[in-house]
Amino acid sequence: MTAAAPAFRVAELRRRSRRPALAPAPPGTVSLAMGEPDHPTPPPVVAAAVAALRGGATHYADQKGLPELRAALAAGLPARPGRPWTADDVVVTHGATAALAAVVAATVGPGDRVVIPEPAYSLYADLVVLAGGTVDFVPLAPDLHWDLDALAAALPGAAMVIFSNPSNPTGIVHRRQELETLGALLDGSGTLVVSDEAYHRLAHPGHTPVPALAVPSLRDRTVYVQTFSKTYAMTGWRVGYLAGPRAVVDAAAQVHRTGNGSLNTAVQHGALAALELPDRVVDAMADTYRQRRDLAVAHLSGVPGLHLVPPEGAFYGFLRYGTGVPSEAVARALAEQKVLVRAGAEYGPSGEGHLRISFATAEDDLWTGLERLVRYFRSARR
């Protein structure tokens, strides 16, 4: 090994990861690739952070997060009968990314198997690879909900199962019955559940997500991961948090403070202000994603060879195409046609033959991008 060679696990990550390095779209290109709200952060959040800075909030914060922010977050968790959540059950992190990284590093090691229903948010598998664990991908059912029989076969002996709900990349909202069955399948096991609910406020009518912490059979084994990024259009602020069994939370807090230190103090004051926003502020943003979802479903339905399971939440559509061309090659060809999308293969083996389209983009751009995409597939079929 030379001094400049990456560590073994980094080399392994480079070999296995399908996550692309992301760059801004070149001029003239429309991006349907980013999982990032196009709305500005609500002004009261910005004002609170500025006021905090002016007021002297320029020093280190508590390493687990501002106590008042943690207390407010604990108060927002689903009730836990007999053991109310407290500030000590919550760790504020550098986005959900650092929450996920901390919990995986804190609980997964060599020899540990982690079940990931896939296609799944691609960060999960990469974190397991970095931690030296083994990824056990379990394909979803054709309707993109969990294949519970396949999960029943895979779960025994697993150290962890990890998923997002609503799901990135599929746009599916897993139902209460799916969560309850997962809880029943895990009964008596030591398997930890990591429920990443980054899109919990972005669900389409009739698909209200059930938090895993509200399911009695999951409550005591679930680490809940949340972020301000999507709900409040705060991706650049980098605020997330986790809550769950105290021993896991404490271990994750130790990993987080070792790798990250405390979170920017003023940013946490912004997060406190976000929690005070009236519901209608978030609802108004969610409405725009819903309208764009409807636009995309209408635009893509009836196009020969394309199939979109109508998204139930988040701001993604997972589009199946039938040309047989690998999704990374399709994404490259579409980039040449000036529309950026994400290759389905990024999200796991069953993602091949799919593209992920983000609706978190202005309606005109969405329309232009979909036109270009449909034109590509029409000419590919000729």
DSSP 8-state assignment for residue 251: H
- Closer residue to ligand PLP in complex, CB, 120/306: 120
Cα distance between residue 351 and residue 95, in whole Å = 25
- Closer residue to ligand PLP in complex, CB, 37/133: 37
What's the closest the beta carbon of residue 119 comes to ligand PLP, in angstroms?
Answer: 12
Relative to beta strand 339-340, strand 316-321 is: unpaired
What's the closest the beta carbon of residue 165 comes to ligand PLP, in angstroms?
Answer: 9
Q: Which two tokens stand for residue 49?
A: 């952070």
Cα distance between residue 375 and residue 72, in whole Å = 49
- Closer residue to ligand PLP in complex, CB, 116/306: 116
Q: Judge residue 136's burial from the number of C-beta atoms within 10 Å of its C-beta, 0-12 exposed, 13-18 middle, 19 or more buried.
A: buried
What's the closest the beta carbon of residue 154 comes to ligand PLP, in angstroms?
Answer: 21
What's the closest the beta carbon of residue 21 comes to ligand PLP, in angstroms?
Answer: 15
DSSP string, 270-329: HHHHHHHS-HHHHHHHHHHHHHHHHHHHHHHTT-TTEEEPPP-BTTEEEEEE-S---HHH
Between CA 211 and CA 195, with CA 192 as vertex, the angle to 5 degrees is 25
Cα distance between residue 151 and residue 158, in whole Å = 11
What's the closest the beta carbon of residue 35 comes to ligand PLP, in angstroms?
Answer: 4
Cα distance between residue 343 and residue 33, in whole Å = 9
What's the closest the beta carbon of residue 177 comes to ligand PLP, in angstroms?
Answer: 22
- Closer residue to ligand PLP in complex, CB, 299/342: 342
- Closer residue to ligand PLP in complex, CB, 35/317: 35
> CB under 8 Å to 290, separation ≥6 — which residues?
204, 205
What's the closest the beta carbon of residue 235 comes to ligand PLP, in angstroms?
Answer: 5
Cα distance between residue 376 and residue 236, in whole Å = 33
Torsion over CA: 167, 85, 104, 139 (sign): negative
- Closer residue to ligand PLP in complex, CB, 170/191: 170
- Closer residue to ligand PLP in complex, CB, 123/306: 123
The helix-helix angle for 95-107 and 246-259 (nearest 10°) equals 110
- Closer residue to ligand PLP in complex, CB, 306/345: 345
Cα distance between residue 17 and residue 15, in whole Å = 6
Name the closest residue to ligand PLP (Cβ).
95
Please give the residue ranges that form the binding site for ligand PLP (CB under 6 A).
Answer: 35, 95-97, 121, 164, 168, 196, 198, 227, 229, 235, 240
Cα distance between residue 340 and residue 314, in whole Å = 19
- Closer residue to ligand PLP in complex, CB, 163/377: 163
Q: Which two tokens stand for residue 365?
A: 């751009």
What's the closest the beta carbon of residue 304 comes to ligand PLP, in angstroms?
Answer: 31
What's the closest the beta carbon of residue 87 comes to ligand PLP, in angstroms?
Answer: 20
